[in-house]
């Protein structure tokens, strides 16, 4: 009898989040439902009151608070992140609403293995307040992007994008809510492609 090939082991993810954690929850739900061949090893969050920590508790996923205010530099903060990720045997890092600029300390520890979710169709509206930037510019279409993280802010190779129409009566809250629906979808899509080793990177 021929042996049945072993199923590939789940992609071991570490999630970095600063706030509510809806994308973290969408990932956890997809993994629990068998949609993704992945496992969240640890959540790292930097704001003590971030609701994402409660979400991790609900999903019984280890969470670690690393408050950036307690570190003398961005590099020392990233060094603590790397140490934690290594402790939990993380393979890929997912920045899901992570409101910190990363340094070469983290980038060199996980080269080409850090992905970020940004609420615009990059390269448009990089940086903070991307939804407000889109409304101020008067564009008719915006969206969201999953990309590999590089040293230059919001500039790494794009893995997935989704377009979202801007409605005449949109506010930052209503537009962001519709973008978030697509964020959940393309984040899962990008991780599924990574897990299947079929990532097509557009440059």
| Complete domains list, the chain, with CATH | 9-111 (3.40.50.170), 117-203 (3.40.50.170)
Contact 43, 15 (CB under 8 A): yes
% of the chain exceeding 90 in pLDDT? 90
Output the pLDDT for position 8: 64
Omega cis (within 30) before 123 = yes
Q: Over 80: is that where the pLDDT of 200 sits?
A: no
Mean pLDDT of the chain: 93
Q: Over 50: is that where the pLDDT of 84 sits?
A: yes
Pairing of strands 114-118, 141-148: antiparallel
Contact 106, 114 (CB under 8 A): yes
**Tokens in use for 19?**
């706030």
Mean pLDDT, residues 66-86 taken together: 98
C-alpha distances out from residue 50 to 10, 11, 47, 103, Å = 27, 25, 5, 22
Output the pLDDT for position 196: 87
Q: Over 70: is that where the pLDDT of 45 sits?
A: yes
Mean pLDDT, residues 16-33 taken together: 96
Q: Over 70: is that where the pLDDT of 117 sits?
A: yes
> In a 3-state reduction of DSSP, which class is residue 12?
strand
Which helix (H) or strand (E) segment holds residue 28: the answer is: helix 22-32
Phi, psi of 174 (to 5 degrees): -70, -40
Per DSSP, the residues of 124-183 read SS-SS-HHHHHHHHT-SEEEEEEEE--SSTT-SPEEEEEEEEPPTT--HHHHHHHHHHHH
Residues belonging to the active site: 118
Output the pLDDT for position 7: 56
């Amino acid at each position: 009898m021929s042996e049945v090939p072993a199923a590939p082991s789940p992609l071991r993810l570490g999630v970095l989040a600063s706030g509510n954690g809806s994308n973290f929850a969408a990932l956890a739900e997809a993994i629990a439902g068998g949609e993704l061949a992945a496992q969240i090893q640890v959540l790292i969050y930097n704001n003590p009151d971030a609701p994402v920590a409660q979400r991790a508790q609900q999903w019984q996923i280890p969470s670690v608070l690393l408050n950036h205010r307690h570190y003398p530099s961005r590099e020392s903060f990233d060094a603590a992140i790397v140490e934690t990720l290594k402790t939990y045997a993380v393979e890929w890092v997912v920045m899901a609403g992570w409101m910190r600029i990363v340094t070469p300390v983290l980038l060199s520890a996980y080269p080409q293995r850090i992905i970020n979710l940004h609420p615009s169709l990059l390269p448009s509206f990089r940086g903070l307040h991307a939804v407000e930037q889109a409304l101020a510019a008067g564009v008719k279409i915006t969206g969201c992007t999953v990309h590999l993280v590089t040293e230059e802010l919001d500039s790494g190779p794009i893995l997935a994008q989704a377009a979202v129409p801007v409605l005449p009566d949109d506010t930052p809250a209503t537009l962001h809510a519709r973008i978030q629906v697509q964020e959940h979808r393309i984040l899962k899509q990008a991780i599924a492609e990574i897990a299947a080793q079929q990532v097509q990177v557009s440059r």
